Amino acid sequence: DPGAAVRISVMGCGYLGAVHAAAMASLGHDVVGLDVDTAKVADLAAGRAPFFEPGLGELLAEGARSGQLHFSSDVAALTAAEVHFLCVGTPQRRGENSADLRHVDAAVAQLLPHLKPGDLVVGKSTVPVGTAERIAEQVRAVEPAATLVWNPEFLREGHAVADTLAPDRLVYGVPEGPAGERAVAVLNRVYGKAVAEGTPVVVTDLTTAQLVKVAANSFLATKISFINAMAELCEATGGDVVQLAEAIGYDARIGRRFLNAGLGFGGGCLPKDIRAFMARAGELGVDQALTFLREVDAINMRRRVRMVDLAREECGGSLAGRRVAVLGAAFKPDSDDVRDSPALSVAAQMSLQGADVVVTDPQAIANASAKWPDLVFAETVEETVRGAELVLLLTEWPEYVALDPARVRTLVRRPRVLDGRNALDAETWRAAGWSYRALGRR
Ligand code: UGA
C-alpha cells in the first residue's frame, strides 16, 4: 500500500537525525530515533529540541502527542523498524582534511546484528565516495535480503524542517535490479507527500548519490568564495561587491542566491566537506580535479584575516587594550551552531591581539562559551556595545540588522562599525553619525 505508514529507525540524532526523525513522524510514519548521547535522547523524548532549530520543538511535541515518535539509546529499539536511516556525523579528522568515519562505522556495527530480510538501510550522512559500497558489502554479508541505498540530505540549518518536508529534490542511490526497484518504491512511500507534491526524484547508483552531495556543497562553497574573491578585487580598486553581486545575479544562469560577500562560510558542513572531498580525490588519484577547492578554502580563510586587519586599522594600528564589541557567534543566523564559526574565529584572533572583546549572540552563547572559554560573552546587545570603540557585525541575525544606529550610538564610546556580512544599511548608519566600513565596499 503506497499510503501506508513505514516503521522507521533513525541512527544519530544530531542536527540531521533529530530533524529527520521528527519530520518523518509528522508525515505519519512510526519512528524511533537512536543516539548514544543519553542526555540528548532524554531531551528529545521529552519533546525538547536539544539545539536551536526553528519549528523542531513543535514537531517533537506533535510526535510525542501522536505516539508515533520515540527516542532511545538502546539499539534494540530499532528491531521493529523496516527502514533504517544512518544520520550520524562525519566530522573532519583531527589534523587532517579527510572525514572521520568512526560514527558511521559504529552505527553500522550496531545495526548489522538486528537486520531482517527485506530491511532497507538508507545512508544520509555525508561520506567520502566509496563508503556506501563498503557498507553495502557489510549488509550483504550478514543479511543478503536487506538492501543498502544512499539518499543524501541537503537541509540547511535554520531551515531544516522546511528543507526536510519540502526538499528541492530527492536523490535515491540504489543498486541495479529488483532490490533497487523495491527500494525506490519504499523510499517513495517514506517521502510520499513530497513525491505527490511533485518534488523531482533523481534515481541513480550509489556512487553518484554520494558524489551529488559533495558536489552540491562544493558548488555552494565555490559560489561564496567567488564573490569573496571579487570582494578582494573591489577592495583593491574601490569597487562595490554588493552592487557587483546584484548586477551579475540578474543573469539567471548565475543567480543572486549564495552570492553574499562577507566573512565567508563556516559551519559543520561546507568547510569540512570540501576538505574531505579533496582528500578523497587525492586517494583516488584525481587530486588535480579538485585543486580549485584549495583556492576556495584559502579565499574563505583570507576573509577572516582581512576582517581582523580592518579592525586593527580602525583602531589606529593596534588592537591592544581596545574595547571591541562582536555581534554574532553562530556560524550563521537562525542557528546555535558554532562549529567553524567565522565570527568566533575573528573574535578569538582580535582577543589574541590584545583587544578587550565582548561577544553576544541570541542563541549560541552556551555553545560558544563551552568551545571558547577564554572569550567574554554578554547576553544583551547593550552590555556588549557599552563603551566599545569598535562594533563588528559578524553574524547577520535579523535583530542585529534591525538595530537602531542612533540608539546604539548612545552606548558606545566611538561610533565605528564594521559590517562583516554586508547586512547593515550603510546610509542609515552613516546618517546616524557612524563610520561604516564593510568587506568589499568603499
Ligand atoms: C549547507 C548547505 O547549504 C546545505 O544544502 C547542506 O545540506 C548542508 O550544508 C549540509 O551539508 O548538511 P548549512 O551549513 O546549514 O548548509 O549552511 P548554509 O546556509 O549553506 O551556510 C553556510 C555558510 O556560508 C554560513 O557560514 C553562511 O554565513 C555562509 N554564506 C552563505 C555566505 O557567506 N554567503 C552566502 O551567500 C551564503
Distance 202 CA to ligand 1 centre (A): 22
> Residue 17: CB within 6 Å of ligand 1?
no
Give the CATH superfamily of 7-203: NAD(P)-binding Rossmann-like Domain (3.40.50.720)
Cα separation values, 220 from 120, 147, 414, Å: 31, 31, 37
In the CATH scheme, what architecture does the domain 214-294 have?
Orthogonal Bundle (1.10)
Determine the pLDDT at residue 3: 76
For ligand 1, atom 3, name the residue with the nearest CA: 156
* Complex-level ipTM: 0.98
**Closest atom, ligand 1, to C-alpha of 15:** 12
Kindly indicate the confidence band of residue 339, based on its pLDDT and cuts at 50, 70 and 90: very high
Query: pLDDT category, 233, cuts 50, 70, 90?
Result: very high
pLDDT band for position 43 (cuts 50, 70, 90): very high
- pLDDT over 90 at 1, yes or no: no
Question: Which residue's CA is the nearest one to ligand 1's atom 27?
Answer: 265
- Percentage above 70 pLDDT, the chain: 100
Check pLDDT > 80 for residue 2: no
Type of residue found at 407 = R
Does residue 191 carry a pLDDT above 80?
Answer: yes
Active site residue 269: yes
N- to C-terminal Cα distance for the chain? Answer: 62
298-438 architecture in CATH? 3-Layer(aba) Sandwich (3.40)
Q: What average pLDDT score do residues 142-152 get?
A: 98
For residues 295 and 297, give the distance between their C-alpha atoms in angstroms, rounded to a whole number.
5
Residue ranges per structural domain of the chain: 7-203, 214-294, 298-438
* Atom number in ligand 1 closest to CA 259: 36
- What secondary structure letter does DSSP report for 358? E
Contact 333 CB / ligand 1 (< 6 Å): no
The alpha carbon of 83 and the centre of ligand 1 are apart by a number of angstroms equal to 29
Question: What distance in Å separates the CA atoms of residue 213 and residue 415, rounded to the nearest whole number?
Answer: 44
163 lines ligand 1 (CB under 6 A): no
Nearest residue by C-alpha to atom 20 in ligand 1: 156
Helix, strand or coil for residue 7? strand
pLDDT value of residue 442: 86
Task: Return the number of other C-beta atoms located less than 10 Å from residue 82's C-beta.
Answer: 15
**pTM of this prediction?**
0.96
* Averaged pLDDT for residues 405-416: 98
- Per annotation, catalytic residue among 13, 234, 269, 315: 269
Question: By alpha-carbon position, which residue is closest to atom 23 of ligand 1?
Answer: 265
Domain 214-294 and domain 298-438, same fold? Reply is no
Residue nearest to atom 37 of ligand 1 (CA): 258
Q: How far is the CA of 262 from the centre of ligand 1 (A)?
A: 13
Mean per-residue pLDDT of the chain:
97
Q: In the prediction, which pLDDT does 146 show?
A: 98
Q: Is 32 helix (H, G, I), strand (E, B) or coil?
A: strand
Q: Tell me what pLDDT residue 260 has.
A: 98
